[in-house]
Amino acid sequence: MTISNQTTLQELIKLGLFSEADIEKFNKKLKRAADSQARKALVDGTASAIKALVQSEVHNGNKYWSVKTAAHSLGFMSYIQADRGIVLKALTQLTEEGFLAKVGLKNVDGQLTELDRTQVNAFQLRYIVAPVEEADAAVDKEGS
């Protein structure tokens, strides 16, 4: 017997090339891959929604953002309906891309102060739109 594109899985199992357990393992792997692609698409869509939100005027020029509404910041989850974990993954992606930056926000001597994120606890972390560096701005002006 020769194996061709027309050979069925049942025939391959009878030949001993695959077992029922192998087929079950392949199906589980396919399901995991499909679930992973769906999660990635959801994270990408959430990241796009976050970008659109911070660039819009809906938030009245708010500078500081957090996952949920907190002191001195608006929460992304107030505007975007998604699971907290998905929002966090989208924020991580946008931070790695350089669109957002993490800062620490804390009252120091009665005044709201931005600190390095290593100087604050997790509840004091906020997200801001990453500032465009002067060198990048100069290149943009020259290119225009």
Model confidence over 94-137: pLDDT tens digits? 999 999 999 888 888 888 788 888 888 888 889 988 876 643 44
Sheet (strand 74-75) strand order = 74-75, 65-66, 125-129, 100-108, 111-115
Helices (H) and strands (E) in the chain, counts: 4, 5
pLDDT at 48 over 60: yes
Instruction: Name the phi and psi angles at 123, rounded to 5.
Output: -80, -10
Tokens standing for residue 104: 């620490």
